[in-house]
Chain A
Amino acid sequence: MAPVANASKSSKRLPPAIRRKALIERVQTNLFSSVPNTILTLLCIIALVLAVPDLLRWVLVNAVWYSPDGSACRAPDAGACWALIPEKYRLILFGTYPYEEHWRAALACILIIGMTVICGIRKLWSWQLLIVWLIVITAAIALLYGGILGLSVVGTHMWGGLPLTLLLFVGTVLGGLPLAVLLALGRVSNLPGIKAVCTGVIEITRGVPLVTVLFMAALMLPLFLPDGLTINKLMRAQIGMIIFFAAYAAEVVRGGLQAIPRGQYEAADSINLSYWKRTRMIVLPQAFRIILPALMNDVIRAFKNTTFVSIIGLYDILGATKAATNDPIWVRYSAEGYLFVFMLYFAFCYSMSRYSMGIERSLSARRNY
């Protein structure tokens, strides 16, 4: 990208004009360019014709949109029972959080989502953003927990749904990243003892499933704590998720550390920067630019992995949906509930992955070594 831009600047040459193909021409080159291609197109169209009308009939035409007692869903030709959603959306979104206090949970979600969006604006990237994050998270937790400003106290065992998912996600990423950087630095360090410890932690954590890490955090951690000290279940799940995320992210960070040209390290040494100064001012800023797209993959995975806490009995969105469809009226319509959860997660993950692709494009355009 960069050389092209320079060339056009120096000689004032314009890039060649791209002729927009006419619609018919595009259809021909893309769908009917050869005999096999035409056959493929026809097969695809046949498959679509067979599948789409039935699907549309189920999803839209025959679907039941409103039926408080679910009776309309039991009609013989009824399609998808979306009536579940207006009836249960409060339970799905906020779990077992007290009904009258749902506004607090909603506000906490808005705070976190808003902060995430602000974080996506690259002009605002700075270290101060981390401090703002801590303030926002503290505010969200205070809002959920209550006990101040006359808000009633809501224990963490009653938290659930979207606020729980978002809190776990943000906590995992913000808590896991510093740990990941430390683990990665340890793994590429030339001190064999520290290297062995970090490599062991990373490899062992990556070798076992996340659910078992959560299971350990839920069941085994209390056994190792001194008498009288207890950590609540939510916090234990959070610790498990942080360690797991950090182990994966550490490998990504290590990739970035190793991708930095040797000369950068040598230059830093030649002006006698200490190890930590070199790491903070020279190595990490460049490493993060290289690894950002790969790191975003891990961040998206961390978001999807928040559903795993439903296995150890927390009511995140998935756990709350399961609870909602345990109701005998709606027990046959959990598929619709899961589809709703799919849409929620898809909205979050798809926008994050699109955003990361955008970042990747602009970063690779700017890099010039």
Chain B
Amino acid sequence: MPDKTLNAGYLPMDDSSAAAPKRGRRPAPRQNLTKRLQIMGLRSVVYQILVIAAIIAVAVYLFGNMQSTLASRGMSMGFGFLDDVAGFSIGESPIPFDADATYAYAFGVGILNALRVSIVSMVFATILGVSLGVARLSPNLLLARAAGSYVEVFRNTPQLVQIAFWYTLVTLAPAARLAIEPFEGAYISNRGVYIPWPADGAAIIPVSLFAIGCLGAYAFLRWQNRPTLSPRLPRPAHLAVIFALIIGLPALGWIAAGAQTELSVPELRGFNFVGGMSMSPEFVALCLGLSLYIAAFLAEIVRSGVQSVPRGQIEAAQSIGLGKFTLYRRVILPQALRVMVPPAAAQYVSLIKNSSLGIAIGYPELFTITNTATTLTGRAIECTSIMMAAYLLISFSVAIAMNLYNRTIQIRGH
């Protein structure tokens, strides 16, 4: 057998080797058993079976322990409690929540609250992080140093202490009747932040249409930039389509919904404000804590991303007379993005996960709700599994989305 593989392909079989089989095949010697097993991969298979069997054995043992513990406490596993009335109140909720709602509904509220604070914080963190990163690269020493100190201070202190600190500051704000009014109709008090907002949910249709329009414009741009030989739309038509999608679509929706111009402005009634859009002190503090911390990391990612673009690229662009804007848009940004997206994705996932720190200040997100439900029902295993599954689902979907985006900006063929 070994002869055959050796000769196959590049050596013509001569008489002697052709004659070899005639001498009869020797049976495989015994002492080579371990070696043969190794070649066949049996040894590694045995290793793996041993490891997996050990893991399963430990899991079964732990599960048995758990069942006997539960039995001795007179409890059993099951998710039936999800249909029971939760009976606790939740401070704030994007969907109506009252004391008759079930546990399943309460978990849903927790997830929604976690997503709400995460999405708002992500937007703030991105704006602030990109500005800080650009500021750090500024030739202006004063600005660069200021941004640098921000990054150092926020990166080198624990996020949880930051959240607690912001919460203290927010609760130290004056009472509602002495509220700070940063601009007409907006109030900051120890009851939270109140800003004017389109009345009666009139904003929902235009805002959602705006989001759809942005997605549509992005898809259109990608379709426009596809590699093709067929003629593309001329530039004015191109801009018109984007304008129609981003501005026209929401405007149409707004008109179709009745063109409401009424703003709901918060006003003081009794001890608190009524109307407008309200953000609880917990929400504001958690938002600040999440976005200001992550912004420091994003700033570093932006800075290192821009700095990773080879100097020659910039010089080449300047030598063919590209303007500053085109230089950034066409040369620096596409190359910097390739470096920036994977670490930025990790930061966004970390932001979402750290929204669970809301428990420290009583913001009713998923972890806080899980904690309350566990205390009330005593079902630690079920509640924790639901929470873990939800967090895994959220962070995996963000990771997958960012991976897909990452794939679109990488160099083709890599």
Q: Which residues of A contact B (CB under 8 A)?
A: 30-31, 33, 37, 40-41, 44-45, 190-194, 197, 204, 206-212, 215-216, 219-220, 222-227, 300, 304-308, 310-311, 318, 322, 332, 334-335, 338-339, 341-342, 345-346, 349-350, 353
A223 touches B381 (CB 8 A): yes
The interface residues of chain A lying within 8 Å CB-to-CB of B219 are none
When A209-B367, A211-B367, A304-B159 are in contact, do A346 and B49 touch as well, CB less than 8 Å? no
Whether B168 and A223, one on each chain, are in contact in the complex, defined by CB atoms closer than 8 angstroms, is no
Does chain A have a CB within 8 A of B55? yes
User: How long is the Cα–Cα vector from A193 to B49 in the complex, in angstroms?
Assistant: 8
13 contacts between A and B (CB under 8 A): A30-B140, A41-B143, A191-B48, A207-B396, A211-B356, A212-B356, A219-B374, A222-B69, A318-B161, A335-B165, A345-B161, A346-B156, A353-B155
CB within 8 Å: A-B pair count: 149
A349 to B49 Cα, complex, angstroms: 44
Interface: B200 (CB within 8 A): no
CB atoms of B157 and A209 under 8 A apart: no
Q: Contacts A31-B142, A353-B156 given: A211-B357 contact, CB under 8 Å?
A: yes
A223-B70 in contact given A209-B391, A212-B384, A308-B160 (Cβ < 8 Å):
yes
Is B367 within 8 A of A227, CB to CB?
no
| A349 cross-chain contacts in B, Cβ below 8 A | 155-157
Number of interface residues of B (CB under 8 A): 55
Residues in B whose Cβ lies below 8 Å from that of A223:
65-66, 69-70, 380-381
Interface secondary structure of A, over-half rule: helix
**For residue A40, which residues in chain B have a CB less than 8 angstroms away from its CB?**
138, 140, 142-143
Interface of chain B: mostly helix, strand, loop or mixed: helix
Residue pair B140, A220 in contact (C-beta under 8 Å): no
Q: Tell me whether B66 and A193 are in contact (CB under 8 A).
A: no
Q: Which of B59-73 touch A at CB < 8 Å?
A: 62-63, 65-66, 68-70, 72
Closest chain-A Cβ to B74's Cβ sits at a distance in Å of 14
Q: Which residue of A209, A227, A304, A322 contacts B356 across the interface (Cβ within 8 Å)?
A: A209
A219 with B356: CB separation less than 8 A: no
Contact B164 A322 (CB under 8 A): yes
- Indicate if the CB atoms of B353 and A208 lie closer than 8 Å: yes
Chain B residue numbers with a CB within 8 Å of A311 are 160, 357, 359-360
Contact (A318, B160) CB under 8 Å given A193-B52, A335-B172? yes
Interface positions of B from 17 to 75, Cβ below 8 Å from A: 44, 47-49, 51-52, 55, 62-63, 65-66, 68-70, 72
On whether the beta carbons of A207 and B139 are closer than 8 Å, the reply is no
Cβ–Cβ < 8 Å partners of B152 in chain A:
350
**Inter-subunit contact B48/A194 (CB<8 Å):** yes
Provide the bound-state CA to CA distance between A80 and B195, in Å: 30
Indicate if B371 sits at the interface (CB-CB under 8 A).
Answer: yes
A-B pairs, 9 with minimum CB distance: A193-B48, A30-B141, A349-B156, A209-B353, A304-B158, A209-B356, A338-B165, A224-B62, A307-B158
A219-B374, A342-B165, A350-B156 known; A31 vs B140 contact (CB < 8 Å): yes
Task: Report A-chain residues with C-beta under 8 Å of the C-beta of B159.
Answer: 304
B392 within 8 A of A: yes
Question: Which residues, 335 to 359 on B, are CB-close (under 8 Å) to A?
Answer: 353-354, 356-357, 359
Q: Is B395 an interface residue (CB 8 A)?
A: yes
- Smallest CB-CB separation from B43: which chain A residue? A191
CB distance from B65 to the nearest CB of A (A): 5
- Please indicate the chain B residues that have their CB under 8 angstroms from the CB of A341 in the complex: 161
Which residues in window 357-403 of B have CB below 8 A to A? 357, 359-360, 367, 370-371, 374, 380-381, 384, 387-388, 391-392, 395-396
User: Among the interface residues B66, B153, B164, B356, which one has the most CB atoms of the partner chain A within 10 A?
Assistant: B164
A212's partner among B140, B160, B387 (CB-CB below 8 A) is B387
